[in-house]
């Protein structure tokens, strides 16, 4: 993942500095011979692209901070993430608020072309069915369709729902991926 | 207690559907990417024309008997590059709560940008050729003129930023207007360096 030089003024100023250095090298090359300048320009562009790709993206190297729960006493919030087609998930009796996220899993081609309507419809059906099956007295249950990547779907959901734990139904590989990116306990359903 | 199950999916009462965001790319970053993409396509089309004229068609650059005012353009480049430094000074100042640095930095940036634009217009008037004199002058005016338009937009943004700075609208915690304007100004500077290299140097 490359650093985006347009993310902030400081990043852009830094990028400008690199461009100035490259421009001076190109000018020196062009002063010797036009084609030397062209070669230096090609090398400079390749070098800048390489530099941008090598730059660490701020925040990605650090592990996610572990946060203390802000949930009031007597409330236990559970975020359930389940793949489309899941028919049932076991949530503990302690759960008083549940949000079910079903990622609209799509192939790369479908995602690239935006042809995700069918995938979203499948995810909606699963979310609706799980919402109904988890509903009971004293528990609030809500279902949503998430992004096409389970980790991103969980990150999105946690922005508006302060869960005490994340329950992952489906592929066990999801558990590790989600655990690496979120600050709340994650377990397999 | 009554069971409470919501399904956001199949009823949107009296309000439009909730947007489905993905953190893969945030709306603000996506907006910036689209802007950069459009700028690359815009400048790219002009640079493509430049390379076709110069490399494919082999038109002499500059076509005799015309001459490019390289020295004046170099001075102008120094002015524009310096203005990016004062812009950066303005932003670092406001982050530290230095109001004088913010105001002085923005004012100097605006004045240097204005100097650049006035010098470019003066250069146009004295250059001795016009768009009707062939492919070389056409591309020259298109590329430098397109960049000049960007400088004009940047100066308009800078003018409002400077006025707001003098009216005390920015603080160490609230200076988003300076940040965004600064990104644009540096972008204009980067584009000028590319234009200067291709039109005047190589």
Nearest chain B residue to A38 by CA distance is: B202
β-sheet with A97-103: strand ranges across: A186-188, A165-168, A77-81, A97-103, A140-146, B4-7
Contact assignment for A147 to B22 by CB distance below 8 Å: yes
Q: What rounded mean pLDDT belongs to chain A?
A: 84
Contact assignment for B23 to A141 by CB distance below 8 Å: no
Nearest chain B residue to A158 by CA distance is: B23
User: What number is the average pLDDT over the span A23-48?
Assistant: 89
Which of A6, A132, A147 minimises the CB distance to B36?
A: A6
User: What number is the average pLDDT over the span A101-115?
Assistant: 84
Contact assignment for B182 to A9 by CB distance below 8 Å: yes
How far apart are the C-alpha atoms of A180 and B34, rounded to whole Å? 30
For residue A155, the chain B residues in CB contact (below 8 A) are 23
Residue with tokens 């734990």: A165
Tokens representing residue A49 in the block: 């692209």
Q: Are B197 and A26 in contact (CB under 8 A)?
A: yes
Contact assignment for A124 to B9 by CB distance below 8 Å: yes
> A149 in contact with B at a CB cutoff of 8 Å?
yes
Cis before B62? omega within 30: yes
> A43 in contact with B at a CB cutoff of 8 Å?
no
Residue with tokens 């004229």: B53
Nearest CA among B161, B157, B159, B146 for reference residue B192: B146
Mutation target to probe the A interface, by most A beta carbons within 10 A, among B1, B2, B4 is B4
Contact assignment for B8 to A143 by CB distance below 8 Å: yes
CA atoms within 13 A on the CB side of B107: 9
Nearest CA among A157, A40, A173, A131 for reference residue B6: A131
- For residue A81, what pLDDT band results from cuts at 50, 70 and 90? very high
User: What number is the average pLDDT over the span A122-138?
Assistant: 90
Contact assignment for A23 to B193 by CB distance below 8 Å: yes
Contact assignment for B186 to A26 by CB distance below 8 Å: no
Q: Which residues of chain B fall short of a pLDDT of 70?
A: 1-30, 32
Contact assignment for B23 to A37 by CB distance below 8 Å: no
> A143 in contact with B at a CB cutoff of 8 Å?
yes
Q: How confident is the model at residue B163, as a pLDDT?
A: 95
User: What number is the average pLDDT over the span A31-58?
Assistant: 83
Mutation target to probe the B interface, by most B beta carbons within 10 A, among A2, A5, A12 is A12
Q: Tell me what percent of the residues of chain A surpass a pLDDT of 90.
A: 24
Distance set, CA B122 to CA A70, B17, B81 (Å):
64, 55, 19
Q: How confident is the model at residue A66, as a pLDDT?
A: 54
| Beta pairing, strands B4-7 & A140-146 | parallel
For residue B10, the chain A residues in CB contact (below 8 A) are 124, 128
**B63 CB-contact burial (10 Å; exposed 0-12 / middle 13-18 / buried 19+):** middle
For residue A148, the chain B residues in CB contact (below 8 A) are 22
């Amino acid at each position: 993942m490359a650093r985006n030089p347009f993310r902030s003024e400081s990043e852009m100023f830094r990028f400008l500095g690199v461009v100035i250095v490259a421009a001076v090298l190109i000018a020196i090359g062009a002063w010797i011979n036009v084609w030397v300048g062209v070669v230096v320009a090609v090398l400079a562009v390749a070098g800048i692209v390489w530099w941008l790709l090598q730059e660490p993206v701020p925040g990605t190297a650090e592990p996610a901070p572990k946060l203390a729960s802000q949930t009031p006493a007597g409330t236990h919030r559970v975020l359930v993430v389940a793949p489309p087609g899941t028919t049932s998930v076991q949530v503990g009796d302690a759960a008083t608020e549940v949000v079910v996220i079903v990622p609209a899993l799509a192939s790369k081609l479908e995602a690239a072309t935006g042809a995700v309507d069918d995938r979203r419809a499948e995810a909606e059906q699963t979310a609706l069915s799980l919402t109904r099956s988890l509903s009971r007295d004293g528990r609030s249950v809500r279902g949503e369709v998430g992004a096409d990547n389970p980790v991103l779907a969980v990150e999105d959901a946690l922005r508006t729902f302060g869960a005490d734990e994340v329950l992952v139904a489906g592929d066990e590989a999801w558990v590790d991926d989600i655990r690496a990116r979120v600050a709340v306990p994650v377990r397999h359903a | 207690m009554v069971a409470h199950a919501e399904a956001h999916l199949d009823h949107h009462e009296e309000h439009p559907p909730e947007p489905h965001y993905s953190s893969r790319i945030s709306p603000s970053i996506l907006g910036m990417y689209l802007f950069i993409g459009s700028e690359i396509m815009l400048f790219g089309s002009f640079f493509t024309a430049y390379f076709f004229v110069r490399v494919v068609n082999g038109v002499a650059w500059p076509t005799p008997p015309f001459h490019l005012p390289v020295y004046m353009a170099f001075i102008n480049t120094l002015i524009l590059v310096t203005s990016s430094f004062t812009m950066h000074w303005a932003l670092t100042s406001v982050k530290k709560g230095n109001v004088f640095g913010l105001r002085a930095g923005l004012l100097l940036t605006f004045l240097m940008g204005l100097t650049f634009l006035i010098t470019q217009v003066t250069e146009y008037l004295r250059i001795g050729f016009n768009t009707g004199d062939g492919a070389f002058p056409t591309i020259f005016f298109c590329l430098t003129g397109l960049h000049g338009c960007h400088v004009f937009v940047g100066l308009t943004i800078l003018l409002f930023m400077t006025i707001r700075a003098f009216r005390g609208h920015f603080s160490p915690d609230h200076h988003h207007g300076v940040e965004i304007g600064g990104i644009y100004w540096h972008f204009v500077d980067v584009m000028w360096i590319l234009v200067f290299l291709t039109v005047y140097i190589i």
